[in-house]
Amino acid sequence: MLRFIVKRILYGFLLMLGVITLVFFLFTVLPSDPARMLMGQRSDIQTEEAIRKEMGLDLPVGVQYLAYLNDLSPISWHRTDDEDSFWFLDNKDYHYVKICSFARSAIVLKAPFLRRSYQTKRPVMEILTEAFPKTALLAVVSIIFAILVGIFIGVLCAIFKDTWFDKVSLFFSVLGMSLPSFFAAILFAWVFAFLLADVTGLSMFGSLYTVDNYGSGQYLDLKNLILPAITLGIRPLAVVVELTKNSVLNVLSQDYIRTAKAKGLPYRTIIVRHTLKNALNPVVTAISGWLASLFAGAVFVEYIFDWKGMGVVIVDALDKYDFPVVMGSLLYVSVILVIINIMVDIIYGWLDPRVKA
């Protein structure tokens, strides 16, 4: 099992290296001028050239790429002409721990540095750290909703195969799969937060925290999570229902299930103890893949419901050509997805030992 885990971690590292390379060169070739964006309207040629030199934009692309890897790496090499100012400035952004130093250079242990926003001048990591917990909460609640409800309905569809319940569930599963996230968000907001607002008590707009009427503080408002979470969880819910149904039907046809029935075990015990564990492998795999779609769909859902997570941050950054924020968002989400996929592979290997072979 240890060898299996190490291989998955190595594959994840190589995948992240490929993502970093793709993101860097993609945004490097875009027609933009970071120096002019940093200066704004009040700019002159001398200042812009000084900023380009300070940011390393006057260097060859290959050197810029190595510098970008150096910024992202937790163990990196740096040098300066003024060691005191170097440690004062960089310790604020990088959180350095010096490993060794020589000739005004040092190998340091630090947090990854995603550089600064062109618009706000704030470190990108700081911006993403504030926004990501809201997106993570939305995605986790959505996937939990899809898993619990989807597995329950899928098992019932397998038990009551070809009945009215199975056919109605299939209809709504197909309907859920065909609805894009942005359209479902608009539809749900209109129906449950506008037409039925007096009944549901839900609002069309709102984030995790709401400012009170007097502006004296903010309070946690979890009801604003209901509509975005259900909207985002509809499509994975439909997938989980169909996968669970087909997988349970396949497992129920196996010889060891017939043996369990022949022994006189209760049908409930056969389903819970002997069927579900072996039937969940494709569901676990699908869930790991759908997490990426949840983060992608969250961009539209958050923007429509005004859920101030990474979706709003990415849309605003794209609108303002704030490329460090966009690049940092892509890498931030990529790291999380790689970690999740590694964890899912480990769970998959535990459920089915044949995967480790």
**For 92-117, what is each residue's pLDDT tens digit?**
454 555 555 555 667 777 778 888 88
Residue 150 reports pLDDT greater than 80: yes
Q: Which amino acid is at 284?
A: V
**Is the CB of residue 121 less than 8 Å from the CB of residue 34?**
no
For 309-354, write each residue's pLDDT tens digit: 888 888 888 887 788 888 888 888 888 888 877 887 777 667 666 6
pLDDT score of 84: 43
Task: Indicate whether 86 pLDDT > 50.
Answer: no
329: tokens are 């968002």
- Asked which of 83-92, 185-194, 217-226, 240-249 is least confident by mean pLDDT, the reply is 83-92
From CA 148, how far away is CA 247, in angstroms rounded?
16
Cβ contacts of residue 146 below 8 Å, gap of 6+? 233, 236, 237, 239, 240, 287, 290
Closest to 328 measured CA to CA, from 318, 338, 319, 341: 318
Residues in the chain: 357
pLDDT at site 88? 36
- Check residue 290 and give its pLDDT: 73
Of 126, 21, 87, the closest CA to residue 78 belongs to: 87
Tell me: pLDDT of 157 over 50: yes
pLDDT of amino acid 35: 62
Write down the pLDDT at residue 90: 43
CA dihedral for 182, 188, 193, 195, sign (positive or negative) = positive
Which residues lie below 8 Å from residue 32, measured CB to CB, with a gap of 6+?
A: 321, 323
Choose from 181-185, 257-261, 278-282 the range with maximum mean pLDDT: 181-185
Domains plus CATH for the chain?
Answer: 2-109 (no CATH), 124-356 (1.10.3720.10)
- Asked if pLDDT for residue 192 goes beyond 60, the answer is yes
54 vs 70: CA distance, rounded Å: 16
Lowest mean pLDDT, pick from 42-51, 56-65, 334-343 = 42-51
Mean pLDDT for 160-186 is 83
Report pLDDT for 91. 43
0.85 exceeded by the pTM? Answer: no
Q: Report long-range pairs for 292-297 (Cβ below 8 Å, ≥24 apart).
A: 292/337, 293/235, 293/236, 294/139, 294/142, 294/143, 294/232, 294/236, 295/135, 295/139, 295/333, 295/337, 297/181, 297/232, 297/235
| pLDDT recorded at residue 79 | 65
pLDDT at 277 over 50: yes
